[in-house]
Structure 1
Amino acid sequence: MEHIEDMTHGAANWLKRLWPLLLLVGVGGLIVAMGWHRYLTLEHLAQNRESLRAMIASHYALALAVFTAVYAVTVAVSIPGGVVLTIGGGFLFGWFLGGVLSIVGATIGATAVYLVARSALRDVLIAKTGPRLQRFAEGFREDALSYLLFLRLIPVFPFWLVNLAPGLLGVPFWTYVVTTFIGIIPGTFAFALAGNGLDSVFDAQQASYESCLAKAGEGGHDSCVYGIDPGALLTTDVIVAVVALGVVSLIPVVAKKLRRRTV
């Protein structure tokens, strides 16, 4: 009996610790199973722009809340589409408000991932890796502000991984939240600005697509592609500026290491 009670108690503790992770996995699985993630494309935005604008005009405050919530959930369950949502926010709400909503939604979603990683996965990972992770975590935490700003400004690693790793490495909560919020501002506003002038891009793409269909005849739907690359909307100057900010964020780390070598 005692053995059964211990097993029951252990299972209850396991579920108590892992239920946030299971919830995120379940929500992500539901979204994929229902095919909702397929709507996170610029093509769908172009095709439904008038109806979306009409809904926003009729229910403005609700639209702001829904957009922020959708963004947060997309980031929390690590479904690709954040860039499209940011561009869409700039297109539908204007570059400034769309950018702000995207930053808030992304920060909320990223924080959810951090909390899940810290509460549900960190103990398991430490038990598996032992001192190796501890040594790496200590080095990362020592300069967490600079490292996280760099990783947010320059997407060297996938966004979901940068959301997950700090929770596993024991980065302080507010350090994580502040660096996430500040670090995604330049890139977010860059994409929101790109989205602000998408009407002309959509019109040009639609005209090109219809012209292709007219020339191709009956088989045109297979050979003609209606597609817009989100990355193509950013100028080289913007990309260089964001990379430069990322490099600047690492200056304190480099300076500290140089001081240690000269001492």
Structure 2
Amino acid sequence: MQSKSVQKIALVLALSALVGAFFLFDLGQYFSLDYIKDSQQRFQSLYTEKTVTVIAVYMGVYILVTSLSLPGAVIMTLVGGALFGLAVGTVVVSFASTIGATLACFVSRFVLQDWVQRRFGQRLVAVNQGIEREGAFYLFTLRLVPLFPFWMINLVMGLTRMKLRTFFWVSQVGMLPGTLVYVNAGRELGRIDSLGGILSPGLIFSFVLLGIFPLATKKIMVWYRLRQNKLYPDVPE
């Protein structure tokens, strides 16, 4: 028992050190569009020469950022689209984001449960009710309709009874449409080499998708729930 306590304290200290280093050394500057755009040519050359290594490093950084709930996941997704293209970028980002989210859920459940309980206790009540009512489909809805930041969902889900493997595959499927939209936007951003490129049809369409995707998915989920209520009126909400 004492050994587990020591391990938990050591893990908390390690996580705190990583998060502290991120802000202390201003590592967030490397997760900006300006930095990515300035470094794009260098990244592309490196990717061409060492494809597997670049993908592995990219996934490692993405998983670390997501598992520690650090800012930068959106930029990393856009970078994935600009660097790898739509098909490869979607696959790489999908698995990296899901692995990172699952690790964040794991850390919340076994290390940070007291802090998460204090910080998001009110959210937890609603989430538990949603899971009790709809099961894994509730998480699927949260992934499709971004009512809450994904990092918050990862942490709060850690305090529920949902199995980690269920959390993983539901997150993988639920985040896939959004991942596809953002990777495509990143691919279009990566093609800009002048101010005129900002007005390209592909980029404009990508940003339109970014805007309408949350609204469209929300409407679809509302329609689905209304349809379910009509088909099964005796099922409690």
TM-score of the aligned structures, taking structure 1 as reference length = 0.73
Q: SS at 1:171's partner residue? A: coil
1:125-159 Cα distance to aligned partner (Å, 9 max, x none): 77x8xxx9997665333223222112111221122
Aligned residues: 227
Counterpart of 2:146 in structure 1 is 155
**2:84 paired with 1:81:** no
Identify the match of residue 107 of structure 2 among 98, 116, 128. Answer: 116
Counterpart of 2:5 in structure 1 is 14
Tell me if the contact between 2:178 and 2:213 (Cα under 8 Å) persists in the aligned partners.
no
Residue 78 of structure 1 deviates from its aligned partner by: 1.4
Counterpart of 1:213 in structure 2 is none
Could you tell me which runs of 5 or more consecutive residues in structure 2 were left unpaired when the two chains were aligned: none
Tell me if the contact between 1:118 and 1:170 (Cα under 8 Å) persists in the aligned partners.
no
**2:56 paired with 1:65:** yes
**Sequence identity (%):** 24
Could you tell me which runs of 5 or more consecutive residues in structure 1 were left unpaired when the two chains were aligned: 1-8, 208-230
The residue type paired with residue 76 of structure 1 is S
Task: Write out aligned runs for 1:109-148 (5 A).
Answer: 109-122=100-113, 138-142=128-132, 143-148=134-139
Tell me if the contact between 1:152 and 1:180 (Cα under 8 Å) persists in the aligned partners.
yes
Q: Which has the larger radius of gyration?
A: 1
Q: SS at 2:158's partner residue? A: helix
Counterpart of 2:228 in structure 1 is 255
Tell me if the contact between 1:137 and 1:170 (Cα under 8 Å) persists in the aligned partners.
no
Residue 259 of structure 1 deviates from its aligned partner by: 2.2
Tell me if the contact between 1:150 and 1:247 (Cα under 8 Å) persists in the aligned partners.
no
Could you say if the C-alpha distance between residues 261 and 45 of structure 1 is closer, same or farther in structure 2, counting changes exceeding 3 Å? Answer: closer
Tell me if the contact between 2:44 and 2:83 (Cα under 8 Å) persists in the aligned partners.
yes
TM-score of the aligned structures, taking structure 2 as reference length = 0.80
Residue 241 of structure 1 deviates from its aligned partner by: 4.1
Residue 106 of structure 1 deviates from its aligned partner by: 0.8
Q: Distance in 1 between matches of 2:14 and 2:151?
A: 16
Q: Distance in 2 between matches of 1:24 and 1:118?
A: 14
Residue 240 of structure 1 deviates from its aligned partner by: 2.9
